[in-house]
Amino acid sequence: MTDRSPGFATLAVHAGAQPDPTTGARATPIYQTTSYVFNDADHAASLFGLQAFGNIYTRITNPTTAVLEERVAALEGGTAALATASGHAAQLVAFQMLLQPGDEFIAARKLYGGTINQFKHAFQSFGWNVVWADPDDIASFERAVTPRTKAIFIESIANPGGSVTDIEAIAAVARKAGVPLIVDNTLATPYLIRPIDHGADIVVHSLTKFLGGHGNSLGGIIVDAGTFDWSRDNKYPMLSEPRPEYHGLKIQETFGNFAFAIACRVLGLRDLGPAISPFNAFMIMTGIETLPLRMQKHCDNAKAIAEWLSKHPAVAQVNYAGLPSDRYNNLQRKYAPKGAGAVFTFALKGGYQAGVDLVAKLKLFSHLANVGDTRSLIIHPASTTHSQLSDEQKTAAGAAPDVVRVSIGIEDKEDLIADLEQALGA
């Protein structure tokens, strides 16, 4: 058995973890500390100079968080990972390593509404410019490439519509342009899709969602695939040029195939500061232990409910890649054969007001702005998560006024169908 590569479920339980060497505790302890005692002055100097690995301050590293990072990196097939306070924080830290003022990045139009706002508005204050492309038109990514392009960003399964993105095709565009492909894998999780296997160079997650899975802890993560040469063409000076903070050390040259994760930690997280709490890291890590069990139930329930909704007279359209009639079904079978995920949208014949009314009448579904919980959730994006967008942007993002988004939980599907039936009937 020693030569066998562990399976996904085994990694979800064991990756990164060992019994506590002091107490023998089997569960990873919560190291609820701000700082750590150095052995001596030389030890401290080696840590601050990146000449040795170890703990200095919990804003940068923490033993509990380190287990979470190693576990997600193992599940995604990456070389290293960095956990952050939220999914948005992960995106901020990742892009800070890549972009200088005036630089551009290309992003798929079909994204979570909060990400669209972050890219379009908050990133403008750093001088980072987003150029939008259509994930259903791969050529639009090619047309968007300019000498200022430094990255391409997509979601593996798009929020809120649940459409599946052709990762390999867009990865080919990124390779031709000489830039990294960043994939937000939040809705799929590595149980359904491992973007690195399809050409992604960086994977990000909102750990708050399916990986944590219980709606109780915020977190984000950046996974380094170890596949990109950051020194090529000197496009990424944060990684390729001597760093004055570390006496001229070149991060790419020193750390090789996990240089991006190191840079995000010792430059981005150190200075921007969005560190995850050790308690949240512990809670999310515990959630990951049941990820394969939960995700399969999520997917099975979602498919059953999507099939039921597709036959309901009040429903105009169901957008779920797991349905044979869906335009993304071929991509789903290619990239996510275990299931199409648990988040999808459906349009109501009564339009905007019907969507608002439906969420008010449901009893078992919770009306809130989250996905990936064990509980089933619902929201009307046009009046909430995507309300800042124009009608054109809402439609492009899959959040038209008549659309409702659901995140299907792990309850008994018969109870969920009964709740939808009474609300739609009313």
CA distances from 22 to 40, 267, 349 (A): 21, 32, 62
Average pLDDT for 252-258: 96
DSSP character string of 92-145: HHHHHHH--TT-EEEEESS--HHHHHHHHTGGGGGT-EEEEE-TT-HHHHHHH-
CATH classification of the domain holding 382: 3.90.1150.10
More confident residue, 322 or 352: 322
* Weakest mean pLDDT among 40-44, 232-236, 282-286, 296-300: 232-236
- At residue 95 the predicted structure's pLDDT band, cuts being 50, 70 and 90, is very high
The total number of structural domains that make up the chain: 2
Residues 340 and 257 in one domain: no
In a domain, 381, yes or no: yes
Average pLDDT for 124-142: 97
What phi and psi, each to the nearest 5 degrees, are found at residue 362? -70, 150
Last residue of one domain, picked from the residues 237, 271, 287:
287
Residue positions counted in the chain:
426
Last residue of one domain, picked from the residues 269, 287, 305:
287
Residue 394 has pLDDT above 60, yes or no: yes
The per-residue pLDDT for 168 is 98
In a domain, 1, yes or no: no
Average pLDDT for 322-334: 97
Give residue-wise pLDDT tens across range 180-194: 999 999 999 999 999
Residue 164 has pLDDT above 90, yes or no: yes
Residues 196 and 235 in one domain: yes
Distance from C-alpha of 217 to C-alpha of 141, rounded to nearest angstrom: 35
Average pLDDT for 157-168: 93
Average pLDDT for 314-342: 97
Place of tokens 């960086």: 202
Residue 1 has pLDDT above 60, yes or no: no
Residues 144 and 276 in one domain: yes
- At residue 398 the predicted structure's pLDDT band, cuts being 50, 70 and 90, is confident
By DSSP bridging, strand 104-108 and strand 129-133 are: parallel
Instruction: Encode 87-122: b = buried (16+ Cβ within 10 Å), e = exposed.
Output: bbbbbbbbbbbbbeeebbbbbbbbbbbbbbbbbbee
Give residue-wise pLDDT tens across range 22-73: 899 999 999 999 999 999 999 999 999 999 999 999 999 999 999 999 999 9
Residues 89 and 233 in one domain: yes
Residues 372 and 332 in one domain: yes
The per-residue pLDDT for 259 is 97
The per-residue pLDDT for 426 is 63
Residues 119 and 72 in one domain: yes
Average pLDDT for 70-87: 98
Residues 166 and 280 in one domain: yes
The per-residue pLDDT for 339 is 98
Residues 75 and 204 in one domain: yes
Q: What is the mean pLDDT of the chain?
A: 95
Residues 345 and 211 in one domain: no
Structural domain of residue 314, as residue ranges? Answer: 291-425
The per-residue pLDDT for 2 is 61
